[in-house]
Amino acid sequence: MKKIYLIAPSFGCTTSPYKERLDKALKTLKKLGFEYIIGKNVYLNNGIASSNTPELRAIEFINAYKSDADIIWSVGGGEVMCEILEYINFDELKNIKPKWFIGYSDNTNLILPLATKLNLESIYGPCAPSLYINEYEVKETFEILKGKKIFKGYKSFQLSKDDEIYPKYHLDKRNKLSAYNYDKPFEGKLLGGCLDCLVTLSGTKFDNVAEFTKNSKEKIIFFLEACEMNPMDIMRGLFQLKNTGWFNNVSGFIIGRSMFYGMEQFGMYDKDAYIESLKYLNVPMIFNCDFGHLGPTIPIRSNAYAKISIENNLLKIEYNE
C-alpha cells in the first residue's frame, strides 16, 4: 500500500493551523515512501461549512474510490459531510477493488455506509493533517495498514487544548477506565463512530444498520463517542437508535471521550446517560476508552471482528481476522 488519495468530504484545509499541518503531513508521507494524490477540494472553502458543494465533494470521493490509490484519507472532519451521501451510488462501487478509507468525527458519514451497504472495513482514525507528527494514533494507523492485530490504550490523555501550529501531546489527565456489567472479554464486529453523526443518519435511506446487524452472523460491538453532545443529547440520541432497531444484536459497547468531557447536566454525566439508556440490553459497557475527540486515540477498524477486554486498566482490542 503505497498510494494515498487525499480528499475533503467535509472541511478543507484552508485555515491555520490545518493548512500548515497538512503541508507538513505531505512531507511525512513522502519521507515514509508514500505517493499521494491531492483531491481538488482539499485546499478549498467553497461550500457552506465545507470544502465545496455536496455534489463536488461526492465526486471527489467517487474519483478517489475509482482511482489506483490504495488508501483514501480524509483531510478533516466538520459539520455537513452527510450532504454528500445523496450523490453517491454505493451500488456502483460494489464491483471496484475495495480501499481503506480513513478519518474520524464527521467522516462517520462515510465509515458507517461503507460498512452497512458495502460490508467494507474502514479506519476510524486520525485525519491526514495529524500526520505532521508520526506518533500515537498516526503510527498505529500505519500499524493497522501493515496488519497489526493487537492494540492497547494509553495511561494518560490530553484534556487541555493547544493553540500551537505543530503541538506535541501534553498528556495531562490520568486515564481510568470504568465499566458496567463487564466481567470478561466480549467479542463481535465493530460498528459505530461519532454519535452526533450516527443519530443524523438513523432512520434515513442511508441507515442500513438494523438490516445489517440482523443479517450479521456475528454480534455487534458498538464503538461510540460524541463530539458536542451533552448528557441529555446522548440520551435522546440513544433513544432514537434504539427505536430504529440498531441494538437488536449487540454484545457490548466501548465508549470514547467527547469534546465536552466531564460535562454534568441534571446530575448526569456521559457515563450515566449511556447506562440509563442501554442497561436494558444487559451487555458490558466500557467507558473513558481511548478514542474520540480528546487524544491520543486508538484507531479502530470499523466492520472488523474483535475481542475487547481490559488489561491493567487499559482497553485492549484484539482483531481476530
Q: What is the mean pLDDT of residues 95-117?
A: 97
Could you tell me the three cell numbers for 100?
481503506
Q: How many CA atoms lie within 13 A of 313 on its CB side?
A: 8
Q: What is the Cα–Cα distance from 145 to 15, expressed in whole angstroms?
A: 29
**306/321 Cα distance (integer angstroms):** 8
Split at pLDDT 50, 70, 90, the class of 285 is very high
Stretch 279-307: mean pLDDT, rounded? Answer: 97
Q: How far is CA 320 from CA 45, 187, 253, 306, in A?
A: 41, 9, 18, 6
Who has greater pLDDT, 77 or 159? Answer: 77
pLDDT of residue 131: 95
Q: Which CATH number applies to 3-148: 3.20.20.10, 3.40.50.10740, 3.40.50.300, 1.10.10.10? A: 3.40.50.10740
Least confident of 58-67, 105-114, 159-168: 159-168
Query: Does the pLDDT of residue 1 top 70, yes or no?
Result: no
- pLDDT tens per residue, range 168-194: 888 999 989 999 999 999 999 999 999
Residue of 15 and 163 predicted with greater confidence: 15
**Residues in CB range of 223: below 8 A, 6 or more apart:** 124, 190, 191, 192, 193, 253, 254, 255, 256, 289, 291, 300, 302
Mean pLDDT of the chain: 96
User: 29 exposed, middle or buried (CB, 10 Å; 0-12, 13-18, 19+)?
Assistant: middle
252 close to 289: Cβ distance less than 8 angstroms: no
Name the phi and psi angles at 30, rounded to 5: -65, -40
CA distance 120 to 100: 8
Domain 151-319: give its CATH code.
Answer: 3.50.30.60
**Distance of CA 102 to CAs 111, 173, 275, Å?**
8, 27, 30
At 157 the pLDDT is 94
pLDDT one-digit tens code per residue, 213-265: 999 999 999 999 999 999 999 999 999 999 999 999 999 999 999 988 889 99
Domain spans in the chain, listed from the N-terminal domain onward: 3-148, 151-319
In this predicted structure, the answer to whether residue 321 has a pLDDT above a threshold of 90 is no
pLDDT above 90 (res 4): yes
pLDDT at site 167: 87
Q: 199 pLDDT band (50/70/90 cuts)?
A: very high
pLDDT at 156: 95
**In percent, how much of the chain has pLDDT > 70?**
99
Residue 59 has, within 13 A of its CA and on its CB side, a CA count of 8
Query: Does residue 161 register a pLDDT over 90?
Result: no
